[in-house]
Amino acid sequence: MDVAIVGSGPTGAAYARVLSELRPDLELVSFEAGPLLADPPGLHVKNIADAEERAAAQRRSEGLVASDSEDRRLRRAGTHLLPDGFQQPGEDGIPSLAMSSNVGGMGAHWTAACPRPGDSEVIGFIDNLDELLDEAERLLGVSTHAFDGAPFADEVRARLGRAFDDSRPTGRKVQPMPLAVQTRDDGRVTWSGSDVVYGDATRSNPRHSLFPEAQVRVLRLEDGCVSGVVVRDLQDGTEHYVAAGQVVVAADAVRTPQLLWASGIRPRALGRYLNDQSQVIFAARLRDVVAADAAEGKASGKPRIARQSGVSWVPFTDAEPFHGQVMQLDASPVPLAPDDVVEPGSIVGLGWFCAKDLQETDRLEFDDEQTDAYGMPAIRVHYTLTDRDLAALEQARQTVRKAAEALGEPLDADPITLPPGASLHYQGTARMGATDDGTSVCDPLSRVWGVDGLRVAGNGLIPTSTACNPTLTSVALAVAGARDIASTYPKQEGTLP
C-alpha cells in the first residue's frame, strides 16, 4: 500500500481526494473505526430525509459505550462524550468533550460553517494559505449564496452591520456565513459531508479502498520511518498488519495524539496546547420586519428557504476576539405565548465563540496502564480558563447582548455560557510549527517531526488561537500535505503517469 489514511472525516477525505486527482497511480486505503451510515460514504445526516433513519444514523455514530444520561453533561446527537477523566481537581476541565465515530466523522453532523481565519487567527508561517483555503472551499463545496432567498436575512445583516461595522476593517465586517451547503431550485438544501470532499474522483478511483469499523490500533516503525499500521476489524475482532509507504493520521484532535502516543511517538508538544472555544448563546426576535419582507420576497422572486434560514457571520478581530454565528430559525428556542405566531426566519439564534489563551499545560494526558472502550490509552484532560479567558467570555456576553438588542427583542434575561467542550472545535493537540523547537508536533507540510513517512491531519494541527470554525483551515492544511505526497512520492515502473 502506498498511502494509508486513518480517519474518514473531512481532512482524511481531502487526502484521498487530492491524491486521487494528482496521483491516480497510488494505492490508497482509508480506515475508519466507526460504521458506514449511508450511501454515498460520508453523507451528512441532515441529507437523510427520513427522520427515523436520520436518528438511527446519529445513534450509530455514538461510539461503543452507551451514554450515561445521569451525569447531566451536555450531549449532542451523533457524538459520544469522553466517559471520564474530563476534569481534574481544581481545574475547569472539558466536561462536554465529544467525538463522533462513523464514516465521515464529525463532518456527518457539523453545521457546515466555513469562515476564513483573520488577524491573529491566521497561521503566519504558511505563505500560500489563501490559495490553500481556496482549494479547501472547492473540496467542501463552500458558498456564500446558499441562503440568498432566506426571509429577513438581508435585514439581519443590515442591523448587525449598523451595530458592528464602523470599527471593523474591510473583509471583517458583517457578512453571509460561508457554508458548505448547496441550495436547489426548489429551496431544498444539501449539506456537505465527507462525501462531497471525496467527490467522484475518489469514488471512481479503483486504487482507493475505504474500510469502516476498522480501528487502527498502532503505527509500526522501522529505523525512524513509519512502515505500516495494525488494524483491528471491529466486526470479528481480528487484527491485520497493512504495510504502507506513507501514513496519514486524521482521527480527530483527541484520537490522533492518542494513536501516536500508543505507537510510542511522543514529541513534547503531543496532546498539549489544547484549545476549546468557549461559547455563549442568546436568542432574539426581529421587530418590525414582516411587512417589509413580504414585499421584498414578492419583488425578488427568490424561493423561500424552509427550516433553518439565513446564517450570518460577525468575524473575529483582535479587538473583539470572538466569532459570531447568527442563525435564523423557524421556531423559538424558548417558549412563547400559546397563540403567538412565529414568522419563519424571525427568531434568531446567536452563538459567540471565544479564542483561547493558549497554554502548554492545557493538555490531554494518556495512561499507559488503563485503556478506554477501544483498547487505547485512557485520556485525562487538564484544562483551565485564565483571567484573559474569563475577560473574553464577559466581553462576549456583552457583545452578544448588543447584537440581540440591535436585532430586536432578546428572548431570555441573559446570555447562556455553555459548558466547556460544547463548541466541538478542539484544536492544538498535534499542532503545526515552523521549526522543531518542542512546541509543535509537525512541520508546515504536516510531517511529524523525526518520523519519516508519517503525517497528521485535522483540527488538532491548528497552532493559533482561533474563534472561527476550524474545518476550512484544517482541510486547507490537508491539501498542502497531500500535494507534497503527490509531488515527492516515487512513481513505480508500469503505473499510470
State pLDDT tens for residues 192-242.
999 999 999 999 999 999 999 999 999 999 999 999 999 999 999 999 999
What is the separation of C-alpha 243 from the centre of its chain, rounded to a whole number of angstroms?
29
Q: Determine the straight-line distance between the first and last CA of the chain, rounded to whole angstroms.
A: 18
pLDDT in tens, 444-494: 999 999 999 999 999 999 999 999 999 999 999 999 999 999 999 998 665
pLDDT number for residue 269: 98
Closest CA to 265 of 277, 245, 249: 249
- Helix or strand holding residue 231 (H, E): strand 225-233
What's the mean pLDDT when you consider all of the chain? 92
Place of cell 505500516: 228
Give the pLDDT confidence of 93-126 residue by residue, as tens digits.
999 999 999 999 999 999 999 999 999 999 999 9
Number of C-beta neighbours around residue 64 at 10 A: 14
Residue 303's pLDDT band (boundaries 50, 70, 90)? very low
Q: Which three cell numbers stand for residue 248?
A: 496519514
Q: What is the pTM of this model?
A: 0.94
Q: What is the mean pLDDT of residues 336-361?
A: 86
Judge whether 425 counts as a catalytic residue. Answer: yes
Q: Say if residue 296's pLDDT is above 90.
A: no
Give me the CATH code for the 144-177+278-354+384-419 domain, please.
3.30.410
Residue 187 has pLDDT above 80, yes or no: no
Retrieve residue 74's grid coordinates: 451536555
Q: pLDDT value at position 310?
A: 86
Domain edges within the chain? 1-138+193-275+423-497, 144-177+278-354+384-419
323 within 8 A of 186, measured Cβ to Cβ: no
> Does the pLDDT value for residue 366 go beyond 90?
yes
413: exposed, middle or buried (Cβ count in 10 Å: 0-12, 13-18, 19+):
exposed
What number is the average pLDDT over the span 265-273?
A: 98
Mean pLDDT of 257-275: 98
Q: What are phi and psi of 424, to 5 degrees?
A: 65, 15
Q: Which fold has domain 1-138+193-275+423-497?
A: FAD/NAD(P)-binding domain (3.50.50)
Residue 229 contacts residue 6 (beta carbons within 8 Å): yes
Q: What is the pLDDT of residues 33-71, one digit of tens each?
A: 999 999 999 999 999 999 999 999 999 999 988 766 667
In which residue are the cell numbers 491539501 written?
479
Which band of pLDDT confidence, cut at 50, 70 and 90, is reported for residue 305?
A: very low
Sign of the Cα pseudo-torsion (464, 468, 470, 471, in order): negative
Query: Considering 44, 109, 208, 425, which one is annotated as catalytic?
Result: 425
Q: Distance between CA 252 and CA 427 in Å, rounded?
A: 9
